[in-house]
Amino acid sequence: MIRASRREPAEPVDRRVEHATVLHASTRRTPVPPLRRLVSVALWTVVVVCGLAYATSLAVPLWFQAHEQRLLVVTSGSMAPKFDAGDAVVMRRITDASQLKVGQVVSFWPLGSETLVTHRIVELRSMPVLTQDEETGQMVAAGGIGTEPEMRQYIITKGDANPVPDPNATPYTRVRGVILGVHHGWGWVLQWAGSATGRAVMLVPPLLSLATLEVLSMSDARRRAQRARKSEERRLDALLLG
């Protein structure tokens, strides 16, 4: 009589452990390659540096305007050594002739010119207002015969580096303002920042950097989605085979 052998029941396999292992592998974050991280840091550096430069180029003039002052760029050396071409001077507007004094440096429009000049006042004069005589073409004092001529305050100016005063007296009404201070070297920077080239240098690179960062981010998201899909497929295969 043959007795059937007794089989021991197979030990149950805990599929949850395998399932958890697969899930853990699928959700684990892939480390960023060093080159990819370096590229991101470089692009963000360009964005921050150029953005700060552009913001500064706008904020500096606005700060002076908020304090009722203006920055003017010096384009000649007629006032050397006080300031020279490429410097920036701080100007405050005047509202009355009494604010003008000998020794002040002022910015003004000379008669017959719309080019702003910045020179030192060497003399103040009260002179009659002149008008052109229609018959003779000569400049004569305004007003009729037997009346006092209208007087107006004029300034005589001279550049510190010039040997002689400016040729014409300037009425105070053509004085734009008094110079309060100077910032050496600011002029070239402000002039460049306000030019088309300066704007392009400060705006184009950060815009391109942001676009590149967006492309890289989309590429990273696509790769993560592909890895997640493959991990999900492996998980399903493991469950079906188990």
pLDDT tens string, the chain, 242 residues long: the values are: 445 445 555 555 444 444 444 444 444 556 777 888 898 999 999 999 999 999 999 999 999 999 999 999 999 999 999 999 999 999 999 988 889 999 999 999 998 888 899 999 999 988 877 676 677 766 666 665 556 777 888 999 999 999 999 988 898 999 999 999 999 999 999 999 999 999 999 999 999 999 999 998 888 888 888 877 777 777 776 777 66
- Cα(92)–Cα(84) distance, rounded to whole angstroms? 19
pLDDT at position 69 is 94
DSSP H or E run through 137: none
Count of Cβ atoms closer than 10 Å to residue 164 Cβ: 7
pLDDT at position 222 is 83
pLDDT at position 29 is 59
CA angle 186, 187, 189 (to 5 degrees): 65
Q: Which two tokens stand for residue 102?
A: 């000998």
Task: Residue 108: name the closest of 99, 117, 100 by CA.
Answer: 117
How is the chain split into domains, by residue range?
79-183
What sign has the CA pseudo-torsion 175, 177, 180, 183? negative
- Using a 10 angstrom Cβ sphere, with 0-12 exposed, 13-18 middle and 19 or more buried, the burial of residue 203 is middle
pLDDT at position 26 is 46
Residue the block writes with tokens 């991990």? 231
The answer for residues whose C-beta is within 8 angstroms of residue 52's C-beta and 6 or more apart is none
Task: Residue 179: name the closest of 77, 71, 97, 44 by CA.
Answer: 71
The answer for residues whose C-beta is within 8 angstroms of residue 224's C-beta and 6 or more apart is 30
CATH class, 79-183 region: mainly beta
- Cα(91)–Cα(212) distance, rounded to whole angstroms? 43
pLDDT at position 180 is 95
Task: Residue 157: name the closest of 84, 105, 111 by CA.
Answer: 105
Task: Report the predicted TM-score, pTM, of the whole model to 2 decimal places.
Answer: 0.66
